[in-house]
């Protein structure tokens, strides 16, 4: 099997650096370049089998149109989308594979599946989701917190967001019952977990039918 050609959206961000490092350690992939603000993205996209995108909502929506035209896999880890952004991404997914998640960690995908099962099994338990990130993270609740909330299927969820220091990411889903509680948690110690998850998604998406997929699909959950 030939190497999967990978383009990265952005160059200087935390995730762009983590993605570069992950690519250097995996012979299954070949980096073809970065797409930076102000650049013409088409020459890079034309060389790629997949685009890894952890940028901004506006940039990601624009790139989704281009990846749809090129029919390449778009691994989308950007968060903070508005409803109208989501509609445009769904439209792009009619023409290309888009793997979209608020968290590209494979373990978080499994955590979301566990949250879904507990929420279904214990409908009378209250659910709160607590998330903690570095001081520079803008969106709150985090994309991961919203992912876990969506997995629960609950309409009423208490969210708490903490910002400070250099925390990569911590999440807890707390189910409160009478005289007992269940705590499901995940701690990210290094951004490399998101990078390796994104590469797994890029590999999984090769040859799949166009559509909007999640990391649960990558894991077969």
Rounded to 10 degrees, the C-alpha dihedral 11/14/19/21 comes to: 100
Q: Is 34 a catalytic residue?
A: no
| Cβ contact 101:134 at 8 Å | no
pLDDT for 153 beyond 70: yes
Q: 4-100+192-219: which CATH topology?
A: Rossmann fold (3.40.50)
Region 152-173 average pLDDT: 97
Q: How far is CA 151 from the centre of its chain?
A: 14
The residue from 137, 171, 196, 203 that is catalytic is: 137
pLDDT for 23 beyond 90: yes
| Neighbouring residues of 100: CB distance < 8 A, sequence distance ≥ 6 | 76, 77, 89, 212, 213, 214
Q: pLDDT confidence of 167, banded at 50, 70, 90?
A: very high
| Cβ contact 65:92 at 8 Å | yes
Domains 4-100+192-219 and 106-188 share a fold: no
What are the structural domain ranges in the chain?
4-100+192-219, 106-188
Q: Does domain 106-188 sit in CATH 3.30.360.10?
A: yes
Query: H or E segment at 35?
Result: strand 29-35
Region 80-106 average pLDDT: 96
The model's pLDDT over 28-52, given as tens digits with 9 standing for 90+, comes to: 999 999 998 888 999 999 999 999 9
Q: pLDDT confidence of 11, banded at 50, 70, 90?
A: confident
Q: Is 186 a catalytic residue?
A: no
Question: In 77-91, which positions are buried (b, 16+ CB within 10 angstroms) versus exposed (e)?
Answer: bbbbbeeebeebbee
| Neighbouring residues of 17: CB distance < 8 A, sequence distance ≥ 6 | none
The residue from 74, 133, 196, 203 that is catalytic is: 133
Q: pLDDT confidence of 1, banded at 50, 70, 90?
A: low
Q: How far apart are CA 101 and CA 57, in angstroms?
A: 13
């Amino acid at each position: 099997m030939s190497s999967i050609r990978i383009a990265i959206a952005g160059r200087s961000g935390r995730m762009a650096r983590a993605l570069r490092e992950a690519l250097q350690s995996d012979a299954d992939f070949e980096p073809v370049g970065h797409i930076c603000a102000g650049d013409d993205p088409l020459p890079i996209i034309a060389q790629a089998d997949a685009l890894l995108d952890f940028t901004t909502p506006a940039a990601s929506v624009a790139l989704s149109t281009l990846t749809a035209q090129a029919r390449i896999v778009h691994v989308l880890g950007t968060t903070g989308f508005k409803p109208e952004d989501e509609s445009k991404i769904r439209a792009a997914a009619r023409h290309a594979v888009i793997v979209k998640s608020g968290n590209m960690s494979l373990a978080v995908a499994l955590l979301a599946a566990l949250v879904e099962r507990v929420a279904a099994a214990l409908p009378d338990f209250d659910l709160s989701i607590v998330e903690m990130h570095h001081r520079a993270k803008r969106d709150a609740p985090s994309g991961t917190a919203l992912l876990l909330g969506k997995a629960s299927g609950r309409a009423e969820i208490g969210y708490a967001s903490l910002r400070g220091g250099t925390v990569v990411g911590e999440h807890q889903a707390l189910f409160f019952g009478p005289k007992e509680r269940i705590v499901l948690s995940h701690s990210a110690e290094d951004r490399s977990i998101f990078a390796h998850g994104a590469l797994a998604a890029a590999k999984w998406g090769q040859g799949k039918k166009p559509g909007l997929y999640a990391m649960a699909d990558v894991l077969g959950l």
